Amino acid sequence: MNVAVRSTANAPDAAALKAQAARLRGKIIEMSHKAQAAHLASSLSCADVLTAAYWHVLNIDPGKPADPLRDRFILSKGHAAAALFATLAMKGYFPIEELDTYCQDGGRLAEHPPANLLPGVEAATGSLGHGLPLGCGMALAGRIKGESFRVFALLSDGENNEGSVWEAAMFAAAQKLENVCVVVDYNKWQATARSNETLMLAPLRDKWAAFGWDAHEIDGHDVGALAEAMQNIPNGSGKPVALIAHTVKGKGVSFMEDDNNWHYRAPTAEEVVKANKELGLA
Amino acid sequence: MRNAFADELTKLGNEDSRVVMLSGDIGNRLFDKFKDKHPSRFFNCGVAEANMMGVAAGMAMNGLRPVAYTITPFVTTRCLEQIRTDVCYHEAPVTIVAVGAGLAYSGLGPTHHACEDISFLRSIPNMVVICPGDAFEVRGALRAAMQQDRPVYIRMGKKGEPVVHKGPIADFKIGKAITIEEGSDVCLLSTGNMLPEAIEAAHKLKEKGISAEVVSFHTVKPLDEDKLKQAFARFKLVATIEEHSLIGGFGAAVSEWLADTETQHKKFLRFGTPDAFFKKSGEQEYAREVLGLTGHQIADKIIHALN
Ligand SMILES: Cc1ncc(C[n+]2csc(CCOP(=O)(O)OP(=O)(O)O)c2C)c(N)n1
């Protein structure tokens, strides 16, 4: 078995992670403003999950993005690309200045993560419901090749509408893919309506549990708790792990929180200033 | 095109109680009027397009006229099996309406591009494929689709495209192309949201003394064979123009027709997207420029071909 040296399982430094999450949110807001791009609230919703993953959990080396032993992180809710791009740039996968090319003509940063183009992006996403099947394939490849890397897939709640998610869920359980962890960004909003008024997701934890997963509810904005739970994969249950992360769409900026207009809206310069103040960045 | 679709759909919903609207969790506020008037006939089917298409087929098999709507790849390739087997095999009168055809959503990246859908859908038996050239053609196509007793696919651009027609098209007919501008040297057969580029190309050609006819060839299946016969007989150059792959699209359909009917012709050019994903960031205008699909680039290639 090829085991990569995993970062020592230090207890997460919650305060440091929190500060990092605020910086990430600031960057995302700046990008959304400059590009006047949609999906800002979707990106803010999952900023803490990304922070926990990239600044504590993942066994990765930005200098070696193709290392076969690296942990895989798949942003299955690809419309939160701004959050992923900002994360990867801040981690050093590519120059931070490249974020200025987000949505600009001829650049590498279109509005969804691209295939085979940008270091650190494990899979092209944007069509919802693809990340988990891909992740299962990656985990099985690791098993077959004797590489014990872990696979994390971040799904949106609306994405749980897709049948392909549940096909993969049953597959992963049957294959006992204990190296696979799904985090569901459960912000209770989809693009045009409340999630549970669109398709009935609730009780979401019970559903994942019934599909054979070790499923837990978690506060999706408690970076420390997220870091601990994700770091603990595989957790000895012998099952793939689902973290149903309760989140608030637009989290971090009072006038965006739980207001689904920010699924499509981009902030004005004034709103950016206000947001930065609230995030303690000004 | 998008707003015209929502508006015409509301009117059709008022006129015909069989009309049911299914949306795949997109079009925020777009269907508010329809929802207000017909709350029991609107369904947000969520991010679950395969189910949406199956539900639409079931409704259509039981006397309703469902319209299934979302972003092009998700309402076509994502649920292709349901379209083929549930809708087309049963000849269920489902109207599939796609928004963001071709590179309309270029900035969203290849997951949201749709340059293969005509190819897939026109190869399915019983399917009609319509690519409206402007908002009035969208209205005409939707109305005509509702009068059909069979599956219809309507491939729209996005919102805010130039409006080409002066008003409602009284005699919009499926399978009957519309001449937009008369000409005598070359004939530009455009399908879908490329119509404004075709018109621009014609104007550029005129500046060089070349008279171009512009045709909105809105129906890709069935083809308007009379129009094709006339065009290939009359003009020294015929070009097809589409925001879709050269493989399997409108130009390919015309090529097949040429081969199958052994039609004699002079020059024939096809404008469309190449056999590659467009990965660069950038909006539709930029993508068209890179791919040589703007009006002035089309005109240049035609001038080159004539020399
Ligand atoms: C297969 C597919 N269908 C539709 C869409 C269009 N779309 C983009 S985001 C979204 C829903 C957003 O809600 P959710 O998935 O819950 O994510 P959130 O932004 O709330 O985190 C939809 C329908 C898509 N990207 N992929």
Interatomic CA distance for residues B253 and B233, integer angstroms: 18
Residue A5 scores a pLDDT above 50:
no
Phi first, then psi: give them for residue A217, nearest 5 degrees: -90, 145
Neighbour tally for A25: CB within 10 Å? 26
Cβ of B26 closer than 6 Å to ligand 1, yes or no, is: yes
The response to whether residue A127 sits with its C-beta less than 6 Å from ligand 1 reads yes
Residue A251 has a pLDDT of 98
Q: What is the pLDDT of residue A94?
A: 98
Nearest CA in chain A to B106: A110
Q: What is the pLDDT of residues A45-81, one digit of tens each?
A: 999 999 999 999 999 999 999 999 999 999 999 999 9
| A191 CA from centroid of ligand 1 (Å) | 6
How far is B92 from B125, CA to CA, in rounded Å? 12
User: Is A110's CB within 8 Å of B109's CB?
Assistant: yes
What mean pLDDT comes out for the span A16-36? 98
> Model confidence over A120-163: pLDDT tens digits?
999 999 999 999 999 999 999 999 999 999 999 999 999 999 99
Q: Angle, to 10 degrees, between the axis of helix B225-234 and the axis of helix B250-261?
A: 80
Query: Which residues have a Cβ under 8 Å from the Cβ of B34 and sit 6 or more positions away?
Result: B6, B9, B10, B13, B21, B41, B42
Pairing of strands B128-130, B178-181: unpaired
User: What pLDDT was estimated at residue A1?
Assistant: 47
In a domain, A135, yes or no: yes
CATH architecture for the domain at B2-155 = 3-Layer(aba) Sandwich (3.40)
Encode pLDDT of A179-230 as tens digits.
999 999 999 999 999 999 999 999 999 999 999 999 999 999 999 999 999 9
What percentage of chain B has pLDDT greater than the value 70?
100
Q: Give residues with Cβ within 8 angstroms of B139, minimum separation 6.
A: B4, B5, B7, B8, B168, B169
Question: CB distance A104–B280 less than 8 Å?
Answer: no
CA distances from A276 to A17, A24, A209, B26 (A): 17, 11, 39, 30
0.80 exceeded by pTM: yes
**Residue located via tokens 């500046």:** B207
pLDDT one-digit tens code per residue, A225-236: 999 999 999 999
Taking the alpha carbons at both ends of chain A, their separation in whole angstroms is: 49
CATH of the domain at A45: 3.40.50.970
Query: Per DSSP, what are the bridge partners of residue B270?
Result: B240
Q: b vs e for B74-94, b when ≥16 Cβ sit within 10 Å of the residue's Cβ?
A: bbbbbbeebbbebbbeeebbb
* pLDDT category of residue A9 using cuts at 50, 70 and 90: low
What pLDDT is recorded for position B149?
A: 94
Which residues on neighbouring strands pair with residue B19, listed in sequence order? B65
Ligand 1 atom showing the smallest separation from residue A79 Cα: 9
State chain B's mean pLDDT as an integer.
Answer: 97
Q: To the nearest whole percent, how much of chain A has pLDDT over 90?
A: 96
From the CA of A263, give the closest atom in ligand 1: 19
The CATH 3.40.50.920 portion of chain B extends over 178-306
Sheet (strand A151-156) strand order: A72-75, A151-156, A180-186, A241-246, A214-219
The DSSP symbol for B138 reads H
- Please give the distance, rounded to the nearest whole angstrom, from the Cα atom of residue A8 to the centre of ligand 1: 36
Asked, for residue A126, whether it belongs to a domain, the answer is: yes
- What percentage of chain A carries pLDDT values higher than 70? 97
In A, minimum Cα distance to B283 occurs at A105
- Beta partners for residue B212, in sequence order: B186
Report DSSP letters for chain A, one per residue.
-B-PPPPP-PPP-HHHHHHHHHHHHHHHHHHHHHHT-S-HHHHHHTHHHHHHIIIII----TT-TT-TTSPEEEESSGGGHHHHHHHHHHHTSS-GGGGGGTT-TT-S--SSPPSSSSTT--S---STT-HHHHHHHHHHHHHHHTB---EEEEEETGGGGSHHHHHHHHHHHHTT-TTEEEEEEE-SB-SSSBHHHHS---SHHHHHHHTT-EEEEEETT-HHHHHHHHHT-S-SSSS-EEEEEE--TTTT-TTTTT-GGGGT----HHHHHHHHHHTT--
Q: Is the pLDDT of residue A165 over 70?
A: yes
In chain A, how many domains are there?
1
Work out the pLDDT band at A2, boundaries 50, 70, 90: low
DSSP state, residue B94: P
Chain A residues whose CB is inside 8 A of the B45 CB are 199
Residue type, B200: E
Expressed in angstroms and rounded, the spacing between residue A168 Cα and the centre of ligand 1 is 18
Q: What is each CA distance from A75 to A42, A56, B38, B140, B300, in whole angstroms? A: 12, 17, 38, 41, 43
What residues in B contact A128, CB-CB < 8 Å?
Answer: 47
**pLDDT band at A3, cuts 50/70/90?**
low
Q: Is A125 in the pocket of ligand 1 (CB under 6 A)?
A: no
* pLDDT interval class at B25 (50, 70, 90): very high
- Average pLDDT, stretch A258-273? 97
| pLDDT higher than threshold 60 for residue A4 | no
Out of A173-177, B26-30, B67-71, B263-267, pick the least confident: B26-30
User: Going by CATH, does the domain composed of B178-306 fall within 3.40.50.920?
Assistant: yes
Q: Whole-number mean pLDDT of chain A? A: 96
The boundaries of the domain holding residue A41 are 15-278
Give, for B144, the enclosing helix (H) or strand (E): helix B135-146
Torsion of CA B140, B142, B147, B153, to 10 degrees: 120
Q: The tokens 């902030």 sit on which residue?
A: A267
pLDDT at A282 over 90: no
How confident is the model at residue A247, as a pLDDT? 98
Alpha-carbon gap, residue B101 to B242, rounded angstroms: 10
Q: How far is CA A35 from the centre of its chain?
A: 21
What is the spatial distance between Cα B292 and Cα B301, in angstroms, rounded to a whole number? 9
Give the CA count within 13 Å in the CB-facing half-sphere of A248: 12
Q: Do B281 and A106 touch (CB under 8 A)?
A: yes
Q: Quick check: helix, strand or coil at residue B188?
A: strand
- Which pLDDT tens digit goes with each residue over B222-272? 999 999 999 999 999 999 999 999 999 999 999 999 999 999 999 999 999
Residues in chain B: 307
Residue A76 CB-density burial (10 A; 0-12 exposed, 13-18 middle, 19+ buried)? buried
Pairing of strands B152-155, B186-190: unpaired
A107: contact with B, CB 8 A cutoff:
yes
Is residue A188 in contact with ligand 1, taking CB distance under 6 Å? no
Q: Sorting pLDDT into bands at 50, 70 and 90, what band is B28?
A: confident
Average pLDDT over residues B129-134: 98
Ligand 1 close to Cβ of residue A239 (< 6 A): no
